[in-house]
Amino acid sequence: MSEPPKAAARTGIRRQLWAAYILQVAAISFATVLGVYGASAVLKDVLIQRALTEEAAHFWHRLAQHPDAELPDTANMRGYLMRTGEVQGRIPDYLKGLDLGYHALPKAVGAPLVLVEDGAGGRLYLEFKQEQVARLAFFFGFVPLAVVLIVIYVVAWVTYRVSRRAVSPLIWLAEAVKRWDPKDPASQKLAADSMPLDLGGEVEIVAHALQELGERLGHFVERERQFTRDASHELRTPLTIMRTACDLMAEDCQLETDACRNLARVRGAVRDMEGLIEAFLIMAREGDRGLPSAPFVVNEIATEQVESLRPLLADKPVTLDVEHRTFIAVDGSPRALAVMLSNLIRNACGYTERGEVMVRVESDRVEVVDTGRGMEADELERAFEPFFRGRAGGDGQGIGLAIVRRLSGKFGWPVSLHSRPGEGTRAIIHFPHTRPVDE
């Protein structure tokens, strides 16, 4: 049974729920912290500046009414006034030299926020201590923030657990289906007595449907096995009898010329039917059961097929031969390669009226080259379609190349065709991995 893709395993429902939980918590935390930080900044910069501006305006109003009005002096705010004409008033050294406007002083002097403003009575310095504001911002900002975050985390965690429990039946179903062997479906794992107690609703409906599908698939697999086994015996036996009878009749020298010709046609039809049945049985098998993969020499298969199919050209001025440019071995099914070569050689012989059909074994391929009619570009595109026959016609049924294409995909041996009208055709079976062997 094929393993599920690793990408699918990394994106399972559990991981998706966990990722959603982490993203949710991170997004809420970021938004909450950003909001509290923004509120703190507004409190420190906007509200404090506004308080200083209003306090300064109030002081100038009182000073206009009472020249001896007292400067602001509270727990968080303190004022200093350098009257007009004074060179040096009673102000701290760290306030001297400040220009008009707002100033945020360093922590070395307490990190106050200072407003410097000129009025009718001189220059006013208002100093606001931010330590108290920072403590208030902490207690009324970050402490509630921590509580809110803890509540959010707890709620998100409970939601995650509930969501995971809600999808756990689906996860169990996915694990059960993942362990299925398509060649031998174990649908009993989805029976009612094998399901978890909390499995219900839509997941239970899907489980029952998959169980029925598995049972039907099991019946289909068993039927395929029976068909392959019965067809292998029931179809091959009469063909073997027919071939043997034809061989015995061919040894009778008293047959007339027409009878010998007809007998040769019968023998050819029997060989065609044997190759066709062999191809169908190979393709009908699920996987590669019955076709053990083993190393074999490609040259031996090519030689056997050429020798067995040479009688097809008995009445034509066409030669059929094999050229071993190198000797190679591959891993796979020799019977499958024999069927592929048989169909390609038969196709070449059927569409070649004179000249030659040559089978060449190269270092990474087998070529079947003929001097036949060739094919147009549109015919070449459709050559591998089932039951397609070119304009030149022929004796075949148009399924030989389709069988070759299906077998090439089944065993990983790509097939390609190259042809031009009047110049013949070259069919190539490529082998991705080969090994040289001694002759």
Q: Which homologous superfamily does the CATH classification assign to the domain defined by 289-436?
A: Histidine kinase-like ATPase, C-terminal domain (3.30.565.10)
Q: What is the pLDDT of residue 319?
A: 93
Residue type, 407: L
Largest CA distance in the chain: 153
Residues 97 and 91: their CA atoms lie apart, in Å, by 11
Which residue is it, tokens 């009226």?
353
Q: Give residue 5's pLDDT.
A: 46
Half-sphere exposure of 382 (CA within 13 A, CB side): 10
Question: Does the model's pTM come out above 0.75?
Answer: no
Q: For position 345, what pLDDT does the model report?
A: 92
* Location of structure tokens 């034809």: 246
For residue 288, give every residue at least 6 positions away whose Cβ sits within 8 Å of its Cβ, in sequence order, or none: 333, 410
Q: What confidence score (pLDDT) does residue 7 get?
A: 43
Q: State the Cα–Cα distance between residues 146 and 252, nearest whole angstrom.
A: 105
Query: pLDDT at position 346, please?
Result: 87
Would you say 190 and 202 are in contact if contact means Cβ atoms under 8 Å apart? no
Q: How many CB atoms lie within 10 A of CB 434?
A: 17
3-state secondary structure the chain: CCCCCHHHHHCCHHHHHHHHHHHHHHHHHHHHHHHHHHHHHHHHHHHHHHHHHHHHHHHHHHHHHCCCCCCCECCCEEEEEEECCCCCCCCCHHHCCCCCEEEECCHHHCCCEEEEEEECCEEEEEEECCHHHHHHHHHHHHHHHHHHHHHHHHHHHHHHHHHHHHHHHHHHHHHHHHCCECCECCHHHHCHHHCCCCCCCHHHHHHHHHHHHHHHHHHHHHHHHHHHHHHHHHCHHHHHHHHHHHHHHHCCCCCCHHHHHHHHHHHHHHHHHHHHHHHHHHHHCCCCCCCCCEEEEHHHHHHHHHHHHHHHHCCCCEEEEEEECCCEEEEECHHHHHHHHHHHHHHHHHCCCCEEEEEEECCCEEEEEECCCCCCHHHHHCCCCCCCCCCCCCCCCCCHHHHHHHHHHHHCCCEEEEEECCCEEEEEEECCCCEECCC
Question: What is the pLDDT, as a whole number, of residue 170?
Answer: 72
Q: Where are the domains of the chain?
A: 1-178, 289-436
Tell me the pLDDT tens digit for each residue of 287-297. 444 455 789 99
CA–CA dist 171, 163 (Å, integer) = 12
Per-residue pLDDT of the chain (439 residues; tens, 9 = 90+): 444 444 444 456 667 777 777 887 788 777 777 776 766 666 666 777 888 888 889 988 888 888 888 888 887 888 988 887 675 567 888 888 888 998 888 888 777 888 999 888 788 889 888 776 666 666 666 677 778 778 877 887 888 777 777 777 777 777 777 776 666 655 666 665 566 655 566 667 777 777 777 777 777 777 777 777 676 667 777 777 887 888 777 776 566 767 777 777 787 677 767 766 776 776 666 444 445 578 999 999 999 999 888 877 877 899 999 999 999 999 988 888 988 998 899 889 888 889 999 999 999 999 999 998 888 888 888 888 876 766 555 555 567 788 888 888 888 999 999 998 888 999 999 999 999 997 6
Partners of 356 in beta bridges: 319
User: CA-CA distance, 337 to 431, in Å (whole number)?
Assistant: 11
Q: How many CA atoms lie within 13 A of 62 on its CB side?
A: 11
